[in-house]
Structure 1
Amino acid sequence: MSLLKEGYIDCHTHLADSMFDHDIETVIQNARKSGVAAALVCTITPRDFPLVLRLCEQYSDILVPCLGIHPVQKDCNGEVQCVTQKDLDEVVTEIEKNADKICAVGEVGLDFQPRITPDTSHKDIQRSVLKAQVELANKLNLPLNVHSRSAGKQTIAALKEFGARSVLLHAFDGRPSSAMEGIAEGYFFSIPPSIVRTEQMKLVKQLPIDSMVLETDCPGLGPVKGERNEPANVQISCDYIAKVKGMTPQEVKRITSQNAVKLFPRLKLILK
Structure 2
Amino acid sequence: MAGGYVDCHCHMTAEEFSQDRADILERARKGGVQALVSVTEHAGELETLLHLSDRYPSYVMPCFGVHPIQSTADGSHSVTMQIGLDFTPWLTPTSKEREEQLRVFQKQLDIAKQMDLPVNVHSRSAGRQTIAFLKEQGAEKVLLHNFAGRASVALEGVQAGYFFSFPPRVANNDQREKLIRRIPLENICLETDSPALGPDRQERNIPSNIFISCEYIARVKGLSPEKVCEATAHNAFRLFPKIRHKMNNRY
Which bin holds the TM-score, normalised by the shorter protein?
over 0.9
The yes-or-no answer on 1:260 pairing with 2:236 is yes
Q: For residues 93-139 of structure 1, give each alpha carbon's deviation from its aligned partner in whole angstroms, at most 9, with x where no partner exists.
A: xxxxxxxxxxxxxx610000123212100000100111111111010
Residue 160 (structure 1) aligns with: 135
Residue 125 (structure 2) aligns with: 150
The yes-or-no answer on 1:11 pairing with 2:34 is no
Query: Are the equivalent residues in 2 in contact too, given 1:27–1:230 (CA < 8 A)?
Result: yes
Query: Are the equivalent residues in 1 in contact too, given 2:39–2:62 (CA < 8 A)?
Result: yes
The yes-or-no answer on 1:20 pairing with 2:17 is yes
Q: CA separation in 2, counterparts of 1:75 and 1:135?
A: 24
Q: Structure 1 vs Structure 2: percent identity of aligned residues? A: 44
Within 5 Å, which residues of 2 pair with 1:77-156? Answer: 77-78=74-75, 81=77, 83-84=79-80, 88=81, 108-156=83-131
Q: For residues 191-213 of structure 1, give each alpha carbon's deviation from its aligned partner in whole angstroms, at most 9, with x where no partner exists.
A: 11001112211111111000001
Q: CA separation in 2, counterparts of 1:177 and 1:216?
A: 24
Q: How far did residue 190 of structure 1 move?
A: 0.4
Q: How far did residue 73 of structure 1 move?
A: 3.8
Q: CA separation in 1, counterparts of 2:157 and 2:242?
A: 23
More strand by share: 1
RMSD (CA atoms): 1.4
Gaps of 5+ in 1: 89-106
Residue 145 (structure 2) aligns with: 170
Amino acid in the other structure paired with 1:20: F
Q: 1:243 aligns with which of 219, 236, 251?
A: 219
Query: Are the equivalent residues in 1 in contact too, given 2:84–2:121 (CA < 8 A)?
Result: yes
TM-score by length of 1: 0.87
Runs of 4+ in 1 over 3 A off after TM superposition: none
Amino acid in the other structure paired with 1:69: V
TM-score by length of 2: 0.94
Q: How far did residue 269 of structure 1 move?
A: 2.0
Residue 192 (structure 2) aligns with: 216
Q: How far did residue 77 of structure 1 move?
A: 4.2
Q: How far did residue 82 of structure 1 move?
A: 6.0
Q: CA separation in 1, counterparts of 2:235 and 2:195?
A: 23
Count of paired positions: 246
Query: Are the equivalent residues in 2 in contact too, given 1:82–1:126 (CA < 8 A)?
Result: no
Q: How far did residue 19 of structure 1 move?
A: 0.3
